[in-house]
Amino acid sequence: MAIKSLGYIGVSSLQTEAWREFACNVMGLEDVSERCDAQPDEAYFKMDDHPYRLFVTPGDVETLQVCGWETNSAEGLQEVADALAHAGVDFTWGDTALISRRRVQNVLSFKDPSGNQHEAFWGVVSDFRKFNSATGVQHFVTGEQGMGHIVLPAPNFDETVAFLSDVLGFGLSDLMKLRFTPDPDEPVTRLWFMHCNQRHHSLGLFEMPMPAGCVHMMLEVNDVDEVGRCNDRRIAAEVKLTGTLGRHANDHMVSFYMRSPSGFDVEIGAEGRTVSNWSDYQVFESTVASFWGHDFSVGQED
Ligand SMILES: [Fe+2]
C-alpha cells in the first residue's frame, strides 16, 4: 500500500496556550513553533526527526482538524491520488502555502465517508535536530511505525471501512462490538482497528459521531517508567484522567488515557506489539478492551 504511516495530527483550537502547556509539560513534546514560523495562536510540537508531528491552529470549535498520512515517495503519493480519482473521491492538491506549512514535497487533502479530514504527503523536510523534550522524555517510538495511532468517529461505518481498506489499503487488525447497556436488543456499536505498517494499529474507527472529531490519539514512549512519569506530570498539572493504567488485549500497549484541552483523549503507552508478517496474523474479535486495567468510568466522573 502507498500509505506507510501516520505522519502528523493537526488540531483546531482556541486554547493554544493550554495545548502548549499540555503538549510540552505533560506529554513531553518539544515546542518548535518559532522554528516552524508559527502564526499567532499556532503551535507546532516535535517528537522525533520530523520537523513536527502535532500542530494546533486557531479555530472556532475544539476539534481534530486533520490526520496526515505519510507515503514514502512521489510515486506513493501519486498512487493515493490515482486510487482516490478511481474511486470518485474528491481531493485537492496542496498549494505552495500548504506544502510549505506542512514541510513536505507535496500533499493532497480529502475527506473519508464519515467526514474526517485527511492529508497524504511525501518527503518530509527535516534538519535532523535532536528531539529535545521539555520534560526529559528520551524517545518516542516512531520511525517506520509512524507517530502513533488515532481513533476517529465513523458514523458511516461500512462506507468508511470500505474506503480505508479498498481505496487507501489499510488492513484490518482486530475488531470489537460494543454494547453500552445490558439490553441484548441494543444494536452493537463497532470499533475496528486497522494497520498500515508493523504497528498493530495506526487507525481505529468507532461507529459514533464525536463532538471533538476524535476518540483518542496515542503516542508510544520507550518504556513503562516513561508512561508512569507522564502520569506523574498529568497529576501535577491537574489534567483529567480518563482511563486508568492497563494493558490492551489487541496491541498489548500498557497505557493510560487523559483529556486533552480540545476534549478528546490522549493515550500514552509503551510495550506495544508489532506484527512483521501480516499474512500470518490472525484477525480476531475481542470482547474486552484490556487484559487488565483501563477503567474508563473515571472519564465519566466530574
Ligand atoms: Fe489506543
The pLDDT-based confidence of 184 (bands split at 50, 70, 90) is confident
Q: Quick one: average pLDDT of 246-260?
A: 97
Rounded Cα gap, residues 55 and 144, in angstroms: 20
Q: How far is the CA of 271 from the centre of ligand 1 (A)?
A: 13
What mean pLDDT value characterizes the chain?
Answer: 96
Question: What pLDDT band is residue 219 in, cutting at 50, 70 and 90?
Answer: very high
Domain 143-299 has CATH 1.10.1200.30: no
Contacts of 37 (CB under 8 A, 6+ apart): none
Model confidence pLDDT, tens digit, residues 81-96: 999 999 999 999 999 9
Going from the Cα of 257 to the center of ligand 1, the distance in angstroms, rounded, reads 9
For the segment 238-263, the average pLDDT, to the nearest whole number, is: 97
| CA 202 / ligand 1 centre spacing (Å) | 9
Q: Model's pTM, two decimal places?
A: 0.96
Question: How many angstroms separate the alpha carbon of residue 35 from the centre of ligand 1?
Answer: 30
> Residue 302 pLDDT > 80, yes or no?
no
Q: What is the mean pLDDT of residues 25-36?
A: 97
C-alpha 54/C-alpha 11 separation (Å) is 8
End-to-end Cα spacing for the chain: 44
Instruction: Please check the confidence at residue 161 and state whether its pLDDT lies above 80.
Output: yes
User: How far does residue 294's CA lie from ligand 1's centre (Å)?
Assistant: 11
65: phi > 0 → left, psi -120 to 50 → alpha, else beta; which? alpha
Is 179's pLDDT higher than 90?
Answer: no
Check for a shared fold between 3-122 and 143-299: yes
Mean pLDDT, range 226-239, rounded to an integer: 98
Distance set, CA 254 to CA 193, 257, 289, 298 (Å): 17, 11, 12, 17
CA of 24 to the centre of ligand 1 (A): 20
Which of the four pLDDT bands, split at 50, 70 and 90, describes residue 156? very high
Confidence of residue 103 (pLDDT cuts 50, 70, 90): very high
CA of 149 to the centre of ligand 1 (A): 7
Q: Domain limits of the chain?
A: 3-122, 143-299
38 CA distance to ligand 1 middle (Å)? 29
| 217 Cα to the center of ligand 1, angstroms | 7
Ligand 1 center from residue 220 Cα (angstroms)? 10
Q: How far is the CA of 262 from the centre of ligand 1 (A)?
A: 17
Confidence of residue 182 (pLDDT cuts 50, 70, 90): confident
Distance 201 CA to ligand 1 centre (A): 8
Q: State residue 284's pLDDT score.
A: 96
Calculate the dihedral angle through the C-alpha atoms of 63, 65, 71, 77, rounding to the nearest 10 degrees.
150
pLDDT on residue 300 = 86
pLDDT exceeds 90 at position 180: no
> pLDDT class for 63, splitting at 50, 70, 90?
very high
Cα 100 to ligand 1 centroid, rounded to whole Å: 31
The Å distance, Cα 267 to ligand 1 centre, comes to 6
The whole-number pLDDT of residue 1 equals 83
- C-alpha span between 223 and 72 (Å, rounded): 28
Degrees, nearest 5: CA angle 27-31-33? 140
CATH of 3-122, one of 3.40.640.10, 3.40.50.150, 3.10.180.10, 3.40.30.10: 3.10.180.10
Cell numbers found for residue 155: 458514523
Q: pLDDT value at position 265?
A: 98
